[in-house]
Structure 1
């Protein structure tokens, strides 16, 4: 069984509605706040910008150009 390295930043390719893991890790960083987002809690990202977001509010503000 493969294990994910704890505490390691994952590299992802964001697609509409899903993402593909390019390198192993257990989290990504929010593009706006820099907060760690565990992969199992990652819900918001932009496939166009290839960015992850910590919350729906942050994602919306980024989309509207407010951050």
Structure 2
């Protein structure tokens, strides 16, 4: 069973752990919106100076 306990209290999380529940679930891999597309992990946000960059070269004019 999967459930969201991210906002649970410390007491609740302690009780669930004591009952043998695993409170961390491995997330599903990110999927692209279209075949060959990008995921959020393909981007890096540089806050100094603020801009968004992609690791691959772009064909778009800059």
Shorter-chain TM-score: what band? under 0.3
When normalised by structure 2's length, the TM-score is: 0.22
When normalised by structure 1's length, the TM-score is: 0.21
Bigger relative contact order, structure 1 or 2, given CA contacts below 8 A and separation 6+? 1
Larger Rg computed on CA atoms:
2
**Between structures 1 and 2, the one with greater strand share:** 1
